[in-house]
Amino acid sequence: DTAVSQTPKYLVTQMGNDKSIKCEQNLGHDTMYWYKQDSKKFLKIMFSYNNKELIINETVPNRFSPKSPDKAHLNLHINSLELGDSAVYFCASSLFRGLRYEQYFGPGTRLTVT
């Protein structure tokens, strides 16, 4: 059983297009995240949601819009894609109870913008 799943796994698109990445977790967690990993493997947090509420927006351009329809889902929509958006995007989830617990990561979505 997949704990955190992402679709699609690969996404190749042209500059200027709009695309979405979906994430679902079946762990009963209350917190979900989006991370961007660049070509140098540096992993940076973009957003975190707790109980469907946006908690962290780490100075991400407005072209990126996350949406959490329920606690098990966190989707990422990207408008007007740019070359610099090419990266691997990871979704993660955790259970937050005052003290942080470990995060469970999805397999990643490799986005290539041409």
Partner 1 sequence: SQQGEEDPQALSIQEGENATMNCSYKTSINNLQWYRQNSGRGLVHLILIRSNEREKHSGRLRVTLDTSKKSSSLLITASRAADTASYFCATDADTGGFKTIFGAGTRLFVKA
**Which residues in this chain contact partner 1 in the complex, by CB under 8 A?**
4, 31, 33, 35, 40-45, 48, 50, 55-56, 58, 90, 92, 96, 98-108
Nearer to partner 1 among residue 9 and residue 82 (C-beta): 9
Under a CB-based contact definition with an 8 Å cutoff, are residues 21 and 9 in contact? no
Angular region, 112: left φ>0, alpha ψ -120 to 50, beta rest = beta
Query: Cβ 95 to partner 1, closest distance in Å?
Result: 12
- 12 vs 15 by CB, closer to partner 1: 12
Tell me whether residue 67 is exposed, middle or buried, using C-beta atoms within 10 angstroms of its C-beta: 0 to 12, 13 to 18, 19 or more. middle
Closest separation in Å from C-beta 106 to partner 1: 5
